[in-house]
Amino acid sequence: MDADFIPFNELYKTVELQDPNRNRIAQWLDRAAVSGILDLSHPMSPEAAQGPYTITAWTEKGESTSRSFDIKEYVLPKYAVNIRLPNVINILQQEVPIQICGRYTYGKPVLGSIKVVVCREGQGHFVRRYPVPQEDICVTSQLQTDRTGCAAHFIRVSEFGPRDKMYRDMFEVTAEMEEYGTGVIIQASGQTPFSVNVRELTFENVADNTAYKPGIPFEGKVKLTGIDRKAVGDEVVYLYVDVNAASYNLTLLTQDNGMASFSLDTSLWKNSVVLTASSRPKEEWQSFVHGERLPAYPSAGLTMRPFYSKSKSFVKISANGHKSLCEGESQVGAQYIIQGEELRPGQEELPFYYTVMSKGAIMRHGHLPVAVKEGIVNKGVLSIPLLGKAALSPYAQVVVYTLMPSGEVLADNMDFPVDQCFENRVKLEFSADRELPGGEASILVLRQAVDQSVLLLQPDQELSASYVFNKLPVQKLSGFSYQVEDREPNPCSQFGQVMERSTAKDDVYSVFKEIGIKLVTNSEVKKPATCVYRMYYTDRVRYSDSSRHRGNRQKIETVRSYFPDTWIWELIPVGDSGSVSVVKTLPDTITSWRAQAFCTSSSLGFGLSRDTALVAFQPFFVSLTLPYSVVRGEVFTLRATVFNYLPSCIMVGLSVLRVPRPVG
Strand, coil or helix: 447: coil
Residue type at position 308: Y
* Residue 468 domain-assigned (yes or no): yes
Same domain, 403 and 384: yes
Same domain, 518 and 590: no
Same domain, 103 and 156: yes
> Which of 195, 211, 226 corresponds to the end of one domain?
195
* Residue 609 domain-assigned (yes or no): yes
Same domain, 102 and 122: yes
> Which of 174, 195, 216 corresponds to the end of one domain?
195
Cα–Cα dist 338/314, whole Å: 7
CB-count burial class (<10 Å; 0-12, 13-18, 19+) for 255:
middle
Same domain, 183 and 320: no
**Residues of the chain predicted below pLDDT 70:** 124-133, 207-209, 286-292, 320-325, 328, 424-463, 493-503, 532-560, 574-582, 596, 598, 600-608, 610-611, 625-626, 628, 641, 643, 645, 654, 656, 659-664
CATH code, domain carrying 617:
2.20.130
* Residue 328 domain-assigned (yes or no): yes
Q: What is the pLDDT of residue 16?
A: 95
Same domain, 466 and 610: no
Sheet holding 89-90, edge to edge: 89-90, 185-195, 170-179, 112-120, 137-144
CATH code, domain carrying 23:
2.60.40.1930
* Residue 477 domain-assigned (yes or no): yes
Same domain, 44 and 157: no
* Residue 576 domain-assigned (yes or no): no
Same domain, 596 and 475: no
* Residue 154 domain-assigned (yes or no): yes
Same domain, 25 and 164: no
Cα–Cα dist 103/78, whole Å: 9
CATH code, domain carrying 105:
2.60.40.1940
Q: For residue range 142-190, what is the model confidence (pLDDT) as tens digits?
A: 999 999 999 999 999 999 988 888 888 899 999 999 988 888 899 999 9
Q: What is the pLDDT of residue 476?
A: 86
Domain membership of residue 644 as a residue range:
559-567+584-627+634-656
DSSP code, position 227? T
Same domain, 401 and 510: yes
Q: What is the pLDDT of residue 412?
A: 92
* Residue 129 domain-assigned (yes or no): yes
Q: What is the pLDDT of residue 183?
A: 84
Cα–Cα dist 113/186, whole Å: 11
Cα–Cα dist 122/635, whole Å: 37
Cα–Cα dist 131/365, whole Å: 61
* Residue 578 domain-assigned (yes or no): no
Cα–Cα dist 400/417, whole Å: 17
DSSP code, position 541? B
Q: What is the pLDDT of residue 538?
A: 40
Query: Which residue, among 53, 58, 52, has the nearest Cα to 25 in the 3D structure?
Result: 53
User: Which residues, in sequence order, are CB contacts of 358 under 8 Å at separation 6+?
Assistant: 391, 392, 393, 394, 395, 396, 397, 418, 476
Same domain, 409 and 356: yes
Q: Are strands 150-156 and 137-144 parallel, antiparallel or unpaired?
A: unpaired
Q: What is the pLDDT of residue 492?
A: 72
CA torsion angle 81 85 87 91 (round to 10): -150
- Show the 3-state SS of 188-209: EEEEEEEECECCEEEEECCCCC
Q: pTM of this prediction? A: 0.68
Q: Are strands 11-18 and 51-59 parallel, antiparallel or unpaired?
A: antiparallel
Same domain, 483 and 335: yes
> Which of 71, 89, 105 corresponds to the end of one domain?
71
Q: For residue range 340-377, what is the model confidence (pLDDT) as tens digits?
A: 899 999 899 999 999 999 888 888 899 999 999 988 99
The number of folded domains in the chain is: 4
